[in-house]
Structures are given as structure tokens and as C-alpha cells.
Chain A
Amino acid sequence: MQSIAVVTPGLDLQASFLDLLDGFGVSQGLAHLLWLPLPMLTVLVAAVVGVLVNVWLERKISAAVQQRIGPEYAGALGVLQPMADGLKLLFKEDIIPARADGLLFTLGPVLVLVPVILSWLVVPFGQNLLISNVGVGVFLWVALSSIQPIGLLMSGYSSNNKYSLLGGLRAAAQSISYEIPLALSVLAIVMMSNSLSTVDIVNQQTGAGILSWNIWRQPVGFMIFWICALAECERLPFDLPEAEEELVAGYQTEYSGMKFALFYLGSYINLVLSALLVSVLYLGGWGFPVPIEWLAHLLGQSVDAPLIQVITGTLGIVMTVLKAYLLVFFAILLRWTVPRVRIDQLLDLGWKFLLPIALVNLLVTAALKLAFPAAFGG
């Protein structure tokens, strides 16, 4: 696909912001320093609001699946219910069990949450609409998500509770075994786009709209990635670490109040993040199903006109979020319709099925790239 040539520079908020401050006579270094916290705060707020939406969706969809009504009185259609949940957790007493290891007990949830939030660094919402276009891109996400098991082991161990320890060990085992097929399926995508950067990966999928999305060229990789992402987020059917019938609540058993809220936030932020990354890697990221350049050309407008750029940028954000929340919807639907797998089935699926298939997928992608360099990014 001759994608790179078609890509337009798009909305560059940083350059506009720096120009604006330059107009007020602010020095270049200070303007840059003032700019730095803005995208970080925006993304942090977006992530937390995403979690609130997610919790509301979870409640409403689970209710619909079970033919209930769900939250109804807190705000219209119960949209304020997640706020009520959050406030409840905020005001709850923060208990550290008497024989637990206080330091590790406090540090565990933090170590679970921080890598997930850091991974938002590489999620692009547009050509320039991301915190930092780091060269290692998706690899950074894969590396950061491997820190999480340490936090889980830490909280499982420090709770001084056999269910917590078992849950922590299970979580770490699950996370390690599903990371390998996950990384291999990402590698196939990276091979096709010749870059680890998330922006380059999306750019490689533009050109022919929906037809050039990676899902058509990597259907097997898409399935592997989605299954592994669900397992990494510990969503049902893979919520073994907190299987309530066996382990009370796994590594969360002894936690209450804000520390529990950190786990809760972490798992939902991780779900939204995984959905965003699936949409970036396989569903064309911020791309519209019909190439925006064609539409602008049809209307006789230049893609570089300021108004068109603003519309394109907004459309990009809307498309990314829309695709991600479609995937979140599927994840929630899966959670309320599919039974939990057993621990041996989970490990069998990871090591004996997904890993060989991911390896074969990688090999086939490499062969196709050599055979059809035009279609597979030679």
C-alpha cells in the first residue's frame, strides 16, 4: 500500500500552542515546559472517565444480559452510579491486616496501576494526538505490562492469606504465559509496518479505508491478540486469579477502600487500553472506514484547510474511541455469557494452542511479506 505518501500532517496542537505562547512573548523553553503536563493530564483524565463509562456499561450490559434493569436512580439511566461506587470506595476504612506486611501491602496496588497508566504514553488518537511518539512504541507497552505481575505477587504475598498468595501466583503465571503469544502477534504486525511506533502502524493501514485495515491481513493474529489481551486483563473467561468460588477474591481478598479501588481502576484502565491497542493494531486506529482524503476531495476541499483539519482530528478521536468501546462491549458481553475456564485448561490454551499458532502466524506473515511485498508492506 502506498500509504505513507497519502498521509497528511494533520492537527498539531503542540505546534499551535507553542506558536500562541510565542506570540505572547514567552520564551521557547518555558513554552515547552508549560506544554508538557497538558497532554499527560488530558490522557489521565480521559483514562479515568473511560473507566467510569466502562463501569456503567458493565452494570447496564450485565443487567440486559440477565434481563434486569440495572442502575436506574443515580442520574438518568444510572450514569452517576460509577461515581457513587468511587465515592464509596474513597470513604471506606483503609484496613491493613494485623499480620500483613504493611509496606509491600501498600506498594502492591501502586505497582499494578502505574505501568498500566504509563502505557497510555503510546496510544495515538491522531497523527499528532498522542503524548509521545516514541520509537519503541508497542514494545514499550509489552515491556511495561510485564511489570504488573510483580505488583500482583507483592500484594498476594504481603496479605498473609493463602487465597491471596494463590491468586497472586495464578495471576503471575497467567500473565507470563499469555504475554508470549501476545508479543508474537504484535511482532507479525510490526513486521508488516516495518516500525514499532504506533503512529507508523496506523499510517500503514490508511490508504484504502476499511479495506486496508490489518484485520483482513492478520485475522489469526487478531484473534490471538484479543484472547491474550482478555487473559492479560484477567477478564472472564480468564479471571482465574480472582475466581470467587475457589479463592474468595484472589489477591484482592484482604484489600479495602482506596487500595482496592486502585486494583479496580487498574483492571478497567487496562481493559480500555487493550481495546484501544486492538483498534490501533488491527482496526486502523483513528482511520475512518472511508479515506478522509477522498471525502474532502469529493467536497472540493483541501485537506490542509484549518477547518477540515479540526474536523479530521475530531473524527479521528471519535473513531478510535468508538472502535475501542465496541471491543469493550464485546469483552463485557463475553464476561456475562461465557463460563470460566479451569487453570489447567487456561495454561493448555496458552502454551499448547496459542503459542504454536502465533509462531506459525509469524512465519506465514514473513513468507507473505517476501512473496507479496506490495500487500504486506515489503
Chain B
Amino acid sequence: MTIASATQLICFLVLASTLVLGSIGVVLLPNIVYSAFLLGGVFLSVAGLYLLLNASFVAAAQVLVYVGAVNVLILFAIMLVNKKEDLSAIPGLAVRKILSGLVCAGLFALLVRVAFTTPWALPGPVPVGEEATIRIGEHLFSDYLLPFELASVLLLMAMIGAIVLARRDVFSTDVITGEPADQGLIEKSRTPLLLEKPALEKTP
């Protein structure tokens, strides 16, 4: 075994074990903040696996999109709403845990079966290495154009929806309660400290 292949094997084992242990931790840890940070670690080890597969562009994109954007947003959401409160005990928690455990185990068994019965073509196609960036670009602008554009339309819809939900004053009625929206009232309920102060005069 050469130095390069030994390094590759060690890297694969370390990355795979962090990936598996990390994702188990994401699901099982009671502290949601730990789960979110572990999720970042899981994304990073997936990027490492991509690197081992000679797909450096995909690895960098994985870090940028999943760690830099998705995970940071999850953390943001958790930290902005993270109130210390005691949750009321859910009835039948043990039964629920057992049921979801069974569903997960079944899914896992199914996946293992698929992995072992599929006739994988080994060794796979030759890695394109640095050429990958160009290939991905060509595919995105030819045969994968429609899925790519559909994904961007989906993201645009999500963005507009988020803006509408955040700014209830853009409609004459409140989208959630159905009552007529009053900009001043919304401002006051958002910032109760300003309740006592007179409303600012609007210039015509």
C-alpha cells in the first residue's frame, strides 16, 4: 500500500465515522443548539468525502451552500427564538420513540438491501478532476437547464413568501388574523417600549 492510498483510506474512515456519529447526534441530542452545530460538522464531512472523490468544485459548493448558508440560517433561527422554557411532557413519549425508531430501522434495512443488491459498476467512471467546473457549467446550461430554472423559481417563491409573512403591512388585511392591518398597531405590538410615546407625524 502506498502512502497516498493509505492516507486516502484513513481520511475516508475518519470522515465516514464523523459523518455517521454526527448525524446520529443531530437526531438524538436533546439540546437543539448542539444538534445544529453537529449538523454543520456533518455537512463539512460530506464535503470532505466529495474531496476524496476528486470533486473539489462540488465540495466547495457544499461548504458554501450548506455550511455557509443553510446551517448559519438554522443557527440564526434557533438563537433568535431560543427561550428558556420547560416544555410540557408529551403523553406516550416512549411509544412514539419506539415507533419512530422502528420506522428508521426499516428504512435503514431497505437502504442496506438496495446497496447490496444493486450491481455497482466497479471501478466507476474516471474522475474528471479540474475539468469538473466546466462540465457542470455545460450541463447547467444545456440538458439540466429546466430543473435549474425551476429550482430558482422555487427559491424566488419562498423568498417572496417570507417577505410577505414578515411584512404584514403590505396588505390591507392581516394575512394571518384576517383583521384590517394597522401599521401603527403592528409597530407598537412589535416594540412595546414605544407604546407611551406619541406616534410620529407623517409628512404629507
Query: Is A147 interfacial (CB 8 A cutoff)?
Result: yes
Interface residues of B in 34-65 (CB under 8 A from A): 37, 40, 44, 56-57, 60-61, 63-64
Given A153-B72, A172-B72: A146 touches B67 (CB 8 Å cut-off): yes
A143 contacts B72, CB within 8 Å?
A: no
| A209 CB, nearest partner CB in chain B, Å | 29
Q: Which of A4-12, A134-142, A301-309 contacts B (4 or more CB under 8 A)?
A: A134-142
CB nearest to B64 among chain A residues? A143
When distances are taken between beta carbons in the complex, the residues of chain A under 8 Å from B79 are 153, 156-157, 165, 168-169
Query: Is A247 interfacial (CB 8 A cutoff)?
Result: no
A143 contacts B68, CB within 8 Å?
A: yes
| B50 CB, nearest partner CB in chain A, Å | 11
Chain B proximity mask over A153-183: 1 for CB below 8 Å, otherwise 0: 1101100000001001100110010010000
| Other-chain residue from B33, B60, B61, B80 in contact with A169 (beta carbon distance below 8 A) | B80
Measured CA separation A33–B33 after assembly (Å):
40
A150 contacts B67, CB within 8 Å?
A: yes
When distances are taken between beta carbons in the complex, the residues of chain A under 8 Å from B80 are 169
When distances are taken between beta carbons in the complex, the residues of chain B under 8 Å from A157 are 33, 79
Query: Is A231 interfacial (CB 8 A cutoff)?
Result: no
Given A147-B67, A150-B71: A135 touches B33 (CB 8 Å cut-off): no
Query: Is A196 interfacial (CB 8 A cutoff)?
Result: yes
When distances are taken between beta carbons in the complex, the residues of chain A under 8 Å from B37 are 104, 150, 154
Query: Is B107 interfacial (CB 8 A cutoff)?
Result: no
Interface majority SS (helix, strand, loop, mixed), chain B: helix
Number of A-B contacts (CB under 8 A): 69
Given A150-B40, A157-B33, A169-B79: A136 touches B60 (CB 8 Å cut-off): yes
When distances are taken between beta carbons in the complex, the residues of chain A under 8 Å from B75 are 150, 153, 172
Measured CA separation A107–B130 after assembly (Å):
33
Chain A proximity mask over B1-14: 1 for CB below 8 Å, otherwise 0: 01100000000000
Query: Is A149 interfacial (CB 8 A cutoff)?
Result: yes
A146 contacts B64, CB within 8 Å?
A: yes
Interface majority SS (helix, strand, loop, mixed), chain A: helix
When distances are taken between beta carbons in the complex, the residues of chain A under 8 Å from B56 are 134-136, 140
Query: Is A29 interfacial (CB 8 A cutoff)?
Result: yes
When distances are taken between beta carbons in the complex, the residues of chain B under 8 Å from A169 are 76, 79-80
Query: Is A144 interfacial (CB 8 A cutoff)?
Result: yes
Measured CA separation A165–B56 after assembly (Å):
34
| A125 CB, nearest partner CB in chain B, Å | 21
Query: Is B133 interfacial (CB 8 A cutoff)?
Result: yes
Query: Is B103 interfacial (CB 8 A cutoff)?
Result: no
Measured CA separation A154–B67 after assembly (Å):
13
| A242 CB, nearest partner CB in chain B, Å | 18
When distances are taken between beta carbons in the complex, the residues of chain B under 8 Å from A172 are 72, 75-76
B133 contacts A147, CB within 8 Å?
A: no
| A122 CB, nearest partner CB in chain B, Å | 11
A33 contacts B3, CB within 8 Å?
A: yes
Measured CA separation A156–B33 after assembly (Å):
12
B3 contacts A136, CB within 8 Å?
A: no
When distances are taken between beta carbons in the complex, the residues of chain B under 8 Å from A153 are 72, 75-76, 79
Most buried by B among A150, A154, A196: A150
B68 contacts A136, CB within 8 Å?
A: no
When distances are taken between beta carbons in the complex, the residues of chain B under 8 Å from A134 are 56
Chain A proximity mask over B156-172: 1 for CB below 8 Å, otherwise 0: 00000000000000000
Interface residues of B in 89-133 (CB under 8 A from A): 129-130, 133
Query: Is B69 interfacial (CB 8 A cutoff)?
Result: yes
When distances are taken between beta carbons in the complex, the residues of chain A under 8 Å from B130 are 135
B33 contacts A139, CB within 8 Å?
A: no
Measured CA separation A11–B75 after assembly (Å):
46
Given A104-B37, A135-B129: A149 touches B60 (CB 8 Å cut-off): no
| Other-chain residue from A140, A156, A173, A176 in contact with B60 (beta carbon distance below 8 A) | A140
CB nearest to A101 among chain B residues? B33
Given A136-B57, A153-B75, A176-B69: A142 touches B64 (CB 8 Å cut-off): yes
When distances are taken between beta carbons in the complex, the residues of chain B under 8 Å from A136 are 56-57, 60, 133
When distances are taken between beta carbons in the complex, the residues of chain B under 8 Å from A144 are 63
B133 contacts A135, CB within 8 Å?
A: yes
| A77 CB, nearest partner CB in chain B, Å | 41
Measured CA separation A127–B34 after assembly (Å):
44
When distances are taken between beta carbons in the complex, the residues of chain A under 8 Å from B2 are 29
CB nearest to A173 among chain B residues? B76
Chain B proximity mask over A19-37: 1 for CB below 8 Å, otherwise 0: 0000000000100010000
When distances are taken between beta carbons in the complex, the residues of chain B under 8 Å from A142 are 60, 64
| A94 CB, nearest partner CB in chain B, Å | 22
When distances are taken between beta carbons in the complex, the residues of chain A under 8 Å from B3 are 29, 33
Measured CA separation A285–B178 after assembly (Å):
60
Residues of chain A whose beta carbon lies under 8 Å from any beta carbon of chain B: 29, 33, 104, 134-136, 139-140, 142-144, 146-147, 149-150, 153-154, 156-157, 165, 168-169, 172-173, 176, 179, 196
A-B contact pairs, 19 of them (CB 8 A): A134-B56, A135-B130, A136-B56, A139-B60, A139-B61, A139-B64, A142-B64, A143-B63, A143-B64, A144-B63, A146-B69, A147-B44, A147-B63, A150-B71, A150-B75, A153-B75, A156-B79, A176-B68, A176-B72
Closest 6 CB pairs of A and B: A146-B68, A135-B130, A143-B60, A143-B64, A143-B63, A136-B56
